[in-house]
Amino acid sequence: MPTIADLGGLEILDSRGRPTVLARCTLASGAVGSASVPSGASTGRAEALELRDGDPERYRGLGCRKAVSHLRGELREALKGQTFEHQCELDRALIALDGTDGKARLGANAILAASLAFARAAAEGNSPLYRHLAEAFGHEPITLPRPTVNLFSGGKHAGGQVDIQDVLLIPEAATTMDEALATVYDIYQHAAERAGERYGVRALVADEGGLAPPFPTAEAMIEEALEAISAAGYTPGEEVALAVDVASSHFFQGGLYRLGEEALEAQGMIERLLGWLDAYPIRSIEDGLAEDDWDHWPELRERVGGRALVLGDDLLCSNPRRVDRALKTGATDALLLKVNQIGTLTEADRALKLARSAGWAVTVSARSGETEDDWLADLATGWDGDFIKIGSLTRSERLAKYNRLRAIEEETGFALARWHRDGNP
Ligand code: PGA
Ligand code: ZN
């Protein structure tokens, strides 16, 4: 019976050097858990509020002292001495203490850090975090999430040199995490060498560790990914396929999709995406349309017709209400789950279960601003994610999660998940 004996917080820096929040939770049993939260750059408008200090004299307003002071003050006072049999009881208490719809008072960064630190403390000494998270929320994982790994970056993560945000590799033939990562490493090295030869920017990487040469068009970025796969000796579409995060909310202005030199209406954007599906082995299209373009998402999904996953990130914001709307309107068939978009484990789990109830695929995702914390690997495994999206195989905030997945693989012997639209054996 976990009773909270103490709660603390610390402002730490994320992978972009911006402040973020770490919470530390001590239980009466003596168990201690700490966890830190990530932060996005290409955020969805419907995300829960990340509380920032707004003081332009310090970290250009991005300080997290207020959020930390809520952990050390109000939340500590309210939770100290309280017993929570289940994670959802704590999460409910956190939501009630905040009292707003989008965690706007105490901050989703403070609240999620507390939610995660408690989970870690409750698992401490009992079971590995992935198993604790599985049991606490009634999941029965038998596989590891298949990595979708950022190869090339654009959009807000790479100075906007190409409009679309990520081209990712899906090592489809790999059956183990070990094999998947070795495959991706090979391709990444070839891509880096080729970028060096062609653009002279071998070493430059974007926020998630993806290469960011100045491609002239989105198509050039996708085609170069296919070339790199071939150069590394793999067959595109057979051994290794692609996913794209179009992140189109971020180039949707005045009702038009401003892709390269063009300004496309929704119909034109849908045609463009369908053209990519015809030409390239793309298995998943994330945010192909903008976050508030609800009218056109069902058409996109229908016309994609199951050829690729229609994955909602900014559209859904891991929010059960938005997932429910997408479910009722047929807007998507896959959920990108970013726990900090909603702010507690319990609400994120609700979004995931809703998605699962409709037979959707689930990609558990990191943010572009990350810390060295590795809870995401445990969460994605424990909650039986089909895919995990962490970033590239560079930058230690990414590798912390990949390395944790390797450790979980070693411990469990789980093979990689293999997504099938009609059931996921
Ligand atoms: P973000 O990007 O963390 O900057 O929001 C990740 C994504 O869009 O998937
Ligand atoms: Zn995205």
Instruction: Print pLDDT tens along the chain (425 aa).
Output: 799 999 999 999 999 999 999 999 999 999 999 999 999 999 999 999 999 999 999 999 999 999 999 999 999 999 999 999 999 999 999 999 999 999 999 999 999 999 999 999 999 989 999 999 999 999 999 999 999 999 999 998 888 789 999 999 999 999 999 999 999 999 999 999 999 999 887 667 899 999 999 999 999 999 999 999 999 999 999 999 999 999 999 999 999 999 999 999 999 999 999 999 999 999 999 999 999 999 999 999 999 999 999 999 999 999 999 999 999 999 999 999 999 999 999 999 999 999 999 999 999 999 999 999 999 999 999 999 999 999 999 999 999 999 999 999 999 999 999 998 765 43
Q: Is the CB of 16 under 6 A from ligand 1?
A: no
Look-up of token digits 């932060």: 39
Q: Which atom of ligand 1 is nearest to the CA of 389?
A: 9
Q: What is the pTM assigned to this prediction? A: 0.98
Between the CA of 208 and the centroid of ligand 1 the distance, in Å, is 9
Residue 35: φ, ψ to 5°: -155, 150
- The set of residues, in sequence order, having a beta carbon less than 8 Å from that of 23 and lying 6+ positions away, is 7, 8, 9, 34, 35, 36, 71, 110, 113, 114, 116, 117
CA gyration radius, the chain? 21
Closest CA to ligand 1's atom 1:
40
Give the pLDDT confidence score for residue 424 in this predicted structure: 46
Give the pLDDT confidence score for residue 418 in this predicted structure: 96
Q: Which ligand is nearest to the CA of 37?
A: 1
Do 365 and 110 meet the contact criterion of CB atoms below 8 Å apart?
A: no
SS (H, E, C) the chain: CCEEEEEEEEEEECCCCCEEEEEEEEECCCCEEEEECCECCCCCCCCCCCCCCCCCCCHHHCCCHHHHHHHHHHHHHHHCCCECCCHHHHHHHHHHHHCCCCCCCCCHHHHHHHHHHHHHHHHCCCCCHHHHHHHHCCCCCCEECEEEEEEEECHHHCCCCCCCCEEEEEECCCCCHHHHHHHHHHHHHHHHHHHHHHHCCCCCECCCCCECCCCCCHHHHHHHHHHHHHHCCCCECCCEEEEEECCHHHHEECCEEEECCEEECHHHHHHHHHHHHHHCCEEEEECCCCCCCCCCHHHHHHHHCCCCEEEECCCCCCCHHHHHHHHHHCCCCEEEECHHHHCCHHHHHHHHHHHHHCCCEEEEECCCECCCCCHHHHHHHHCCCCEEECCCCCCHHHHHHHHHHHHHHHHHCCEECCCCCCCCC
Between the CA of 391 and the centroid of ligand 1 the distance, in Å, is 10
Q: Is the CB of 43 under 6 A from ligand 1?
A: yes
Q: How far is it, in rounded angstroms, from Cα 39 to Cα 365?
A: 12
Between the CA of 243 and the centroid of ligand 2 the distance, in Å, is 11
Between the CA of 336 and the centroid of ligand 1 the distance, in Å, is 10
The residue whose CB lies within 8 Å of the most ligand 1 atoms, and thus the one to mutate among 15, 153, 164, 165, is: 165
Quote the tokens at residue 96: 């009630």
Q: How far is it, in rounded angstroms, from Cα 63 to Cα 52?
A: 6
Q: How far is it, in rounded angstroms, from Cα 265 to Cα 252?
A: 10
Q: Is the CB of 41 under 6 A from ligand 1?
A: yes
Q: Which atom of ligand 1 is nearest to the CA of 247?
A: 8
Q: How far is it, in rounded angstroms, from Cα 276 to Cα 358?
A: 26
Q: How far is it, in rounded angstroms, from Cα 298 to Cα 383?
A: 27
Between the CA of 61 and the centroid of ligand 2 the distance, in Å, is 24
Report the catalytic residues: 208, 338
Closest CA to ligand 1's atom 8:
42
Do 307 and 277 meet the contact criterion of CB atoms below 8 Å apart?
A: yes
